[in-house]
Amino acid sequence: MACWVVPTVAAELWGVTVQQVLDAILSGSIASRQDNDFTFVDVAPGSPSVRRPKPFRNDPPTFTAVTDEEMLELMKDEPASEPTSQQSSDEIAATMSDEMQALIQMGDWRRGRRMTSSLRKPPRTSAA
């Protein structure tokens, strides 16, 4: 099976200089290939080759694309969305608990963290 490495690794494996490997690539005495602008050298050219596995099945897609005409027809059925009015801050504040309002108004996150950590229940000790 071929073992493709970059020329610097091949030079290190063979105990030669990189320039000698590059010269051998240019002369064609070493099997090499270009892949995504990188040069690779086969450091085991006499090894047995292994067949590549068959590519995966190319199953059809599990969906069908919606055309522009179909999308327009689907959108006709939807009622026109009415603009929602923004809730005032007083309405929002009325629905919040007193603790949450205090956390929002305090401004200092450290103070809020101390308040909430004091409410934490520690884990129960397991009986051995």
Q: What's the pLDDT tens digit per position in 28-82?
A: 888 888 888 888 888 877 777 767 777 777 777 787 888 888 888 888 866 655 5
Highest average pLDDT, of 17-21, 39-43, 112-116, comes from: 17-21
State the DSSP H helix or E strand holding residue 87, giving kind and residue range, or none if neither.
none
**Which ranges of the chain does DSSP label H, i.e. alpha helix?**
7-14, 18-27, 68-77, 89-95, 98-106, 109-117
- The tokens describing 32, both together, are 């090499």
pLDDT value at residue 113: 79
Residue 48 to residue 46: CA distance in whole angstroms = 7
- The tokens describing 92, both together, are 């929002």
Cα of first residue to Cα of last residue in the chain, in angstroms, is 58
pLDDT value at residue 46: 74
CB atoms within 10 A of CB 59: 6
Highest average pLDDT, of 4-13, 56-65, 73-82, 88-97, comes from: 4-13
